[in-house]
Amino acid sequence: MSRFFSSKYKNLTPYTPGEQPKDTQYIKLNTNESPYPPSEKAIKYASEASEKLNLYPDPTCSALHEAFAKTVGVETDMVLATNGSDEILNFAFMAFCNENCGAVFPDITYGFYSVFAQLNNIPYEEIPLKDDFTIDVNDYIGKNKTIFIANPNAPTGIPLSLSQIEEILKGNPDNIVVIDEAYIDFGNDSAVSLIPKYDNLLVTQTFSKSRSMAGARLGFGIASKEIINDLNTVKYSTNPYNINKMTIAAGIGILEDNDYTLNNCEEIIKTREYTADALSSLGFTLTPSTANFLFAKHNKISGKEIYSELKENGILVRHFDKEKIKEYNRITIGTKEQMETLVSTLKSILEDR
């Protein structure tokens, strides 16, 4: 680092994104993107918006907010669009955490939580998952801290039920509970339905996974009007024009073509089940994932070796070096053809052993 870098960030460990290599054409199963392109309507709307890039986008994102609120079944002033769900998560750390009210989240979860805590100088607690990688709800009762839970969790893919989320909400009435629903559309019930009942609930969602817009960067927060007002204060104090014109337009197109999203999710779920069965038949152990990825290990070959050999064969998966999960790889669900290639490649790797 340079001599000018602020000392308050000297111990900051940045988030490590999944590989985006450009040297080889890989089957890319490492960053949980959708294997399907955005809907034609989204592409058309974005193209039309590109003709007016000389003008600022609407800072209120009013048309996008209206379309999204209608889709999730809440009032327009109960949603806030952000630059990916990462931004709404960072806003939550800024708005609802401080030195007296720290953050708490699982020890195995989305890696950005600890980064946001460090970035904002917020004390945080990581609660270990159980041996089967599930969250023990009792560990989150009466924490007197802001709670962040990915549901389903990443990289395990294991969900909490709505009744379990309710227990956490009821057990922390004076603190915000953030439910990060990046993968909610692949077979789970959204906690948005609980918002009228609990004024301490903030739900975050993203268009990067089920809605095929990872490259456009669009996320949302859904909560009571009061919580959204708090988050708007942070937004307008940092970057009022946080969503560009083309992303706003594409987002509206995606929402107007919701059947396209639902059909893609159904295909991904079917392909996930096919892949899980195929990997199990090859001797892999998998967590019960309800996301658009699988979390798998094999007892005869290490997670690192599987990752490396797949990469040599032109397939990228995500490997984590953390001791507790180093034998596992997270495998994004691609098209049926991509997953058939994955399975046949793994079969060859195992036969060579």
DSSP labels for 177-241?
Answer: EEEE-TTGGGT---GGGGTTT-TTEEEEEESSSTTS-TTT--EEEEE-HHHHHHHHHHHHTT-TT
User: Is the per-residue pLDDT at 157 higher than 70?
Assistant: yes
**Helix or strand or coil: residue 297?**
strand
**Cα–Cα dist 225/64, whole Å:** 17
CB 301 within 8 A of CB 349: yes
Task: Identify the helix (H) or strand (E) that includes residue 142.
Answer: none
The crossing angle, in degrees rounded to 10, of helices 336-352 and 258-281 is 20
Segment 279-285 shows an average pLDDT of 98
Query: pLDDT-derived band of residue 352, with 50, 70 and 90 as boundaries?
Result: confident
Query: pLDDT-derived band of residue 17, with 50, 70 and 90 as boundaries?
Result: confident
Over residues 208-252, the pLDDT tens digits come to 999 999 999 999 999 999 999 999 999 999 999 999 999 999 999
Q: What is the total residue count of the chain?
A: 353
Segment 11-40 shows an average pLDDT of 88
User: Is the per-residue pLDDT at 43 higher than 80?
Assistant: yes
**Cα–Cα dist 160/184, whole Å:** 11
Query: pLDDT-derived band of residue 23, with 50, 70 and 90 as boundaries?
Result: low
Query: pLDDT-derived band of residue 14, with 50, 70 and 90 as boundaries?
Result: confident
pLDDT, residue 90, reads: 98
pLDDT, residue 16, reads: 82
pLDDT, residue 3, reads: 83
Residue found by looking up tokens 């599930």 in the block: 134
* Amino acid present at 323: E
Phi, psi of 316 (to 5 degrees): -100, 130
pLDDT, residue 74, reads: 98
pLDDT, residue 13, reads: 85
**Cα–Cα dist 278/80, whole Å:** 40
User: Is the per-residue pLDDT at 24 higher than 80?
Assistant: no
How far from chain centre, in Å, is Cα 7? 30
Which residues touch 285 (CB under 8 Å, ≥6 apart)? 296, 297, 298, 299
Over residues 81-94, the pLDDT tens digits come to 999 999 999 999 99
pLDDT, residue 282, reads: 97
User: Is the per-residue pLDDT at 8 higher than 90?
Assistant: no
Segment 251-262 shows an average pLDDT of 97
**Cα–Cα dist 64/204, whole Å:** 16
pLDDT, residue 205, reads: 98
Find the farthest-apart pair of alpha carbons in the chain and give their distance in angstroms, rounded. 60
CA dihedral 260, 265, 267, 271 (to 10 degrees): 160
Segment 117-127 shows an average pLDDT of 96
**Cα–Cα dist 143/33, whole Å:** 34
Say whether pTM exceeds 0.85: yes
Average predicted confidence (pLDDT) for the chain:
96
User: Is the per-residue pLDDT at 353 higher than 80?
Assistant: no
Distances 162 to 15, 103, 150, 152 between C-alpha atoms, Å:
29, 21, 13, 11
